[in-house]
Structure 1
Amino acid sequence: MTGRAPIQPVLLHHITALDCARDGDFNVEVGPMATTDASAAQAKEPAATVRRVLVAEDDSLIRMDLIEMLREEGYDVVGEAPNGQVAVELTEELRPDLVIMDVKMPIRDGIDAAAEIASKRLAAVVMLTAFSQRDFVEKARDAGAMAYLVKPFTKADLVPTIEVAVSRYTELNVLERDVADLTERLEIRKLVERAKGILMESHSFSEPDAFKWIQRAAMDRRTTMKAVAEVVIETLGNKAK
């Protein structure tokens, strides 16, 4: 088989609320409502949002190559920085959707800069590194990075990593708006991650679509994402195994 695979039809999903209780718990049934052809789906979908990206890399050649890759893929590169300190300053000024940042840079390294950007909730961060050791991954995660890329990488690696990072960052912001307590927030995030995995396995959702489904179900039922996640785990968890 040659050529590009056909576009998968858009699958709309519905939620049926059953056995509502006073504590807000309910059972849900997830299933397809209808499918549409590709042209109808495209007509209904809003125009894709152009991601605004800041690139922080001290090697000018790598920085130029990365910027070229991003622009070829339709991203709007709003700024570039040669070190971590400039990256933080430009992020505060330009408020991009995403910062792609090298780990080892002069003046201020990427891990430290990423920690400040993440703590201030300025943008999603993707780290660039020449290493994939466990200690680096843990440091990047602890600093608040949403994803990382190991050099050298290709456009095929770059685009999915960016979209996953922005999706995770959006999810985190939604959860933090709903929950002030850090301990409870972490607990809810674990539940939501588990529920997302179940929906992805049992109903072939993408990761962003699984999160949107949970979020929409919570809004429709006027309950919390935690309650929806718990119901998904209880109702569909065994079926996904």
Structure 2
Amino acid sequence: MATLIVAFPKLEEAKAVRNLLVRRGYEVASACTSGAQAINMADRLSDGIIICGYKLSDNMLYSELYEYKPKSFEMLLVASKNLWDDCQDNDIVCAAMPIKVNDLINTIEMMLQVQVRRRKKKRMQPKRRSPQEQKVIDDAKAILMEKNNMTEPEAFRYIQKCSMDSGNTMVESASMVIGIYSE
């Protein structure tokens, strides 16, 4: 589960929101009053959501906090609607003040689900091979095509099958093919 950081100009507000979220089962890393504290905490964490007010105690606006936060963090602005200047231009989720507890929880839950989907999608993307790794695979295919009279797709499938059967990566299997035929 992603971590939450709460940042409001008054410590009492930040602690109240933090306590509310903790009671609802969320992990809150910190209740901050300044943008610098929030950014510092976010830099130490992998990902999460920063829940903040319009202007923090160090006079940092939400837009500056959005600009300086790590890319892996989402942001939820809790402020009156007339202060939502460029929220739609950025990917800042906004909640109107005064906020109801259920609205806050539902918004956070929606944001967390988006993060989970994004993480899952990123994991599912095939990893890019370096030029050196691709050269190893291409060399192994060339050897198989020459020595075993295979077509390029057949050689690729052979390396792929060996990789899947052995539990190795394609590059490791290709290296084994090169090693076998170069002896």
Above 0.5 in TM-score?
A: yes
TM superposition score normalised by structure 1: 0.45
Separation in structure 1 between the aligned mates of residue 120 and residue 60 of structure 2, nearest angstrom: 30
Question: Of 29, 47, 67, which aligns to 1:78?
Answer: 29
User: Unmatched 5+ residue regions in structure 1?
Assistant: 1-48, 179-241
Separation in structure 2 between the aligned mates of residue 132 and residue 175 of structure 1, nearest angstrom: 33
2:9 partner SS: coil
Report the Cα offset of residue 85 of structure 1: 2.0
Separation in structure 2 between the aligned mates of residue 77 and residue 96 of structure 1, nearest angstrom: 12
Which structure has the larger Rg? 2
TM superposition score normalised by structure 2: 0.58
- The reply on whether 1:132 has 2:81 as its aligned counterpart is yes
Correspondence list, 1:32-71, <5 A: 49=1, 51-71=2-22
2:72 partner SS: coil
User: Unmatched 5+ residue regions in structure 2?
Assistant: 126-183
Separation in structure 1 between the aligned mates of residue 88 and residue 118 of structure 2, nearest angstrom: 13
Separation in structure 1 between the aligned mates of residue 117 and residue 47 of structure 2, nearest angstrom: 17
Match of 2:180 in 1: none
1:89 partner SS: helix
Separation in structure 2 between the aligned mates of residue 164 and residue 176 of structure 1, nearest angstrom: 18
Describe the shift of the 1:74–1:173 C-alpha distance in structure 2 as closer, same or farther (beyond 3 A). closer
AA of the residue aligned to 1:114: Y
Question: Of 121, 137, 154, which aligns to 2:100?
Answer: 154
Match of 1:95 in 2: 46
Separation in structure 1 between the aligned mates of residue 23 and residue 122 of structure 2, nearest angstrom: 34
Give the paired residue count. 124
Separation in structure 2 between the aligned mates of residue 170 and residue 139 of structure 1, nearest angstrom: 26
Separation in structure 1 between the aligned mates of residue 8 and residue 47 of structure 2, nearest angstrom: 16
Q: Percent identity?
A: 15
2:103 partner SS: helix
